[in-house]
Structure 1
Amino acid sequence: MSFDITPQLKAAIEKTGCKGALAAISRNGIVETFSAGSITAADHGRAFYIYSISKTFTAVALLKLCEDGRDFLDETFRSLMPEAPIPDGITVRQLLNHSGGLSDYFSSREYQEAVTSHPTKPWSHEKLMEVGLRGTPLFPPGEGWAYSNPAYGLLKKLIESLSGMGYYDFLLENVLAGLGLRDTRAFVAPDVNLELLEGEAPGFEGDFRRLYRPEWIVTGCLISTVTDVARFYDALFGGKIVSETSLRKMMETVDVLKTSPAVSIPANGLGLMHFRKDPLGDAYGHGGGGPGYTTYARHYPDLKGAPFTLSLVLNMTLPQTPFALADEIVRAFLDRAG
């Protein structure tokens, strides 16, 4: 590939204040890794919590279930799970693209303070959902957009209900099997041996890896590496996981903002983030964030004549997905490619 993104990673460290940055670029199926700051070449294969990048895996699992049976995307969620604590009329598709009007817990002060003050004593699933859904409905189904972790908590339960399998068991057998992603696994217990990538989580009294428990994440969360994440998106868009019809459904988006800019319009598909009319080209992916890590993956089905995938992690809790860093890396690639 002969393309070095270390300068862009170093600049991101200076801008964000984090100690290290790690990235993988996949071009024509060849993956290269790069790092800067406290993350060295020895860390390139170290895993981390990918956080909400896991939502793409959840969406893929549901599309697989649609392929194996009937297409239930436009059925109401409560017709499938009648006891769900949400209003009638919200479809599975609307939960997947965050247009169902559900609220969230992640940015609430109550949740954030609880996570940092007693990370080893997570809330119950019921309390997470209760706090997360306090503002529901924010708007009638399909008439707005609001990011919701409880929505994906419900979708996780739906996967288990329809498949008769545990969420992670279903992902392993029906999504990950055969992809060769050997460093991708479920987050089911704290990292007491500090095997994961080192990171900074302000507010924690001690290393967050030993303290933070998976029960704080109602959606489920995977552990992976930048290389495995890049390969997952390559496989998804390369037709190796779901059908072309299912992938097209995932790529159908709704706008995030009520009033959109002229270009780079934020939009959301089924488990995929997208920017319509992006000058850099059509791309799909997802970001994630939580204690210690800020993550992002972006896939271009066609960038200068070939697929291009970028996977990033900054080793610090940050308030924003690193869209700007991804843009800088892609611009540098396009400049070099002429």
Structure 2
Amino acid sequence: MRRNPARLFATALLVASVLAPSAETPATALHPPLPTNADRHKDERPPDGLGPEVTARLDKAIEDVRRQAGIPGVIVGLWMPGKGSYVRATGVADTATRKPMTTDLFMRVGSETKTFTITALLELVDDRRIRLDDPISAYVDGVPNGDRITLRQLAEMRSGLFSYSNDPDFQRDLLSDPSRSFTPRELLAYGFKHSNLFAPGEEFQYSNTNTILLGLVIEKVSGLRLADFIHKRVTRPANLCHTLFPQGAEFPEPHAHGYSDQTLSGEIADTTMWNPSWAWAAGAMISDLHDLRRWAKIVATGTLLSPETQRERLKVLPTGIPGLSYGLGIFELDGWIGHNGSLPGYESATVYLPSQKATLVVLLNTDDDYQGQEPSTVLARAITKIATPDNVYDGPPPPALNVVPYGVSVIR
């Protein structure tokens, strides 16, 4: 099914690499070397299964969705303490060479980047260097209605700011040259051309503009580039050795190729090396299955934050979409807590179910819709119907909230 390229940006999650330092922020030399495959997860033992019957049902359900939706390759990890776990890869990582998908591949994770950016922001709250109810105007000039929009409202997607990724000029500029680098200020300029959609706090509307602004706040307050601060205060303390915020289109090996029809022609393209700078703090990061497994629990339980700040994070509010609430860079969907991501060629979902201490990670190398739904949502729904029937991960089709081409893909 071909899509109008404009639909790609109806909202936004995407990835954005650290480009040159912003005008307000000094550069630093903290960049860690790109991870390699040489020492990856050596100490991890094969997981115990969920039993032959459940395993067979999951195998069939995942393969059925993959084939019906035309997904080249899928990686799935499901861990259920006391019951066992399920880790699988199926399909291909490269449609040209037919290289099989494997569970050790690096993947672009799109809007899951928001969980890292907001965690970094909340650490500054714990450091007492910022307050959630500070206005954005105290940190970034030129924000429409910025003296009334708080950092909390930006993180909750309740600012009313227009998402730059919905702007037609932005869409044309990106798709005309996917290798182009964008600066955060350039991204904001596309959004600030438009009037605010509603008064701060009145509604929920997913907007990548919000997270770009919070990235600039982190840079200004910390004195570090966003990628460096996230490495220093988030991924390194969390022991996420295979999670990184790229500086450009670089992609560590081994990785899966991504495929998307989000092009000007509507034809499917290999988007593997498209520059994700246009999403920056909202979606530029790269990770893998096993790091995301660890990250899911850290985000949901607040390991890196004070109990008080984590309680603030989990004050999820209704979005107007049945079953879905959104908090500070985190959603709750039918009991599952976490975030998903979508950008040209890649989709993901990383969620944690507190009632069963279960973790689900889904990674795939396409973002092409299937029957009007995100393929990651279709997969997660099929998996949870079998494994956690009382908590089925089920979001509405994209038109239900036409504002997230690369954001909470579940509600895109």
Q: TM-score, normalised by structure 2?
A: 0.71
Cα pair distance change 1:82/1:60, threshold 3 Å: closer
Structure with more contact order per residue of length (Cα contacts < 8 Å, sep ≥ 6): 2
Cα pair distance change 1:288/1:133, threshold 3 Å: farther
Q: CA deviation at 1:32?
A: 4.8
Q: Which residue of 1 aligns with 2:381?
A: 327
Q: Which residue of 2 aligns with 1:209?
A: 272
In the alignment, which of 304, 311, 314 is matched to residue 248 of structure 1?
Answer: 311
Q: Which residue of 2 aligns with 1:311?
A: 361
User: Helix, strand or coil: the match of 2:281?
Assistant: coil
Alignment of 1:277-292 (within 5 A): 278=334, 282-292=335-345
Alignment of 1:89-168 (within 5 A): 89-168=148-227
User: Helix, strand or coil: the match of 1:106?
Assistant: helix
In the alignment, which of 92, 102, 105 is matched to residue 38 of structure 1?
Answer: 92
Q: Which residue of 2 aligns with 1:271?
A: 329
Cα pair distance change 1:58/1:327, threshold 3 Å: same
CA distance in 2, matches of 1:335, 1:192: 37
- Alignment gaps of 5+ in structure 1: none
Q: Which residue of 1 aligns with 2:112?
A: 53
Which ranges of 4 or more aligned residues in structure 1 deviate by more than 6 Å? none
Q: Which residue of 1 aligns with 2:49?
A: 2
| RMSD of Structure 2 on Structure 1 (CA) | 2.6
User: Helix, strand or coil: the match of 1:34?
Assistant: strand
Q: Which amino acid aligns with 1:268?
A: Y
Q: Which residue of 2 aligns with 1:20?
A: 73
CA distance in 2, matches of 1:195, 1:188: 18
Q: CA deviation at 1:16?
A: 2.5
- Alignment gaps of 5+ in structure 2: 1-47, 94-98, 391-412
* Percent identity for Structure 1 against Structure 2: 25
Contact 1:149 1:218 in 2 (8 A): no
Contact 1:96 1:151 in 2 (8 A): yes
Q: CA deviation at 1:70?
A: 5.2
Cα pair distance change 1:158/1:124, threshold 3 Å: closer
Contact 1:150 1:218 in 2 (8 A): no
Aligned residues: 321
CA distance in 2, matches of 1:109, 1:127: 14
Q: TM-score, normalised by structure 1?
A: 0.86
Please give the per-residue CA displacement for 1:18-50, whole angstroms capped at 9, x wherever unaligned. 211111223349875212222587621111111
Q: Which amino acid aligns with 1:288?
A: G
Q: Choose 289-298 or 28-37, whichever is displaced more.
A: 28-37
